[in-house]
Amino acid sequence: MITENNIDNLYRITSNLSFKDYTDQLNAHKKQNKGRVRTDFSYSLSSETLEALEMYKTACKQDITTDQEEEIKTYLLKIRFAYPQLWEQTNGNYGQWKRVKSA
């Protein structure tokens, strides 16, 4: 069974990775358009972020198979050892999400 804590961790990981994708693309856009009027820019999510998002979606489902559960737990262990900084909430929307989720 996937616990609430693991779902929260997946949310934090997805949030941090997507914020990182955004800031990387914003910095690249600023470098490319120095001196020009700032325009809107588009960005895409990295494959790592999409993988985390897929894990989060799966964990939020009510009925998941044991294979999916093991896949999620393996992913969380991999992230915990490879990227421990992703477990910390670096952008401020987690508190807002937690309040809305519990209401």
pLDDT at residue 91, as a whole number: 62
- Token pair for 24: 């990387």
**Residue 38 falls inside a structural domain:** no
pLDDT mean for each 10 residues of the chain (103 residues): 88 90 85 70 89 95 92 94 82 61 57
pLDDT at residue 67, as a whole number: 95
The C-alpha atoms of residue 96 and residue 19 are separated, in whole angstroms, by: 16
Q: What is the pTM of this model?
A: 0.79
Range of the domain at 19: 4-33+45-102
Domain tally, the chain: 1
The C-alpha atoms of residue 19 and residue 11 are separated, in whole angstroms, by: 12
**Residue 54 falls inside a structural domain:** yes
**Residue 69 falls inside a structural domain:** yes
**Residue 78 falls inside a structural domain:** yes
11, 6, 14: which is closest to 76 by C-alpha? 6
Rg of the chain on CA atoms, in Å: 16
**Residue 52 falls inside a structural domain:** yes
pLDDT at residue 77, as a whole number: 94
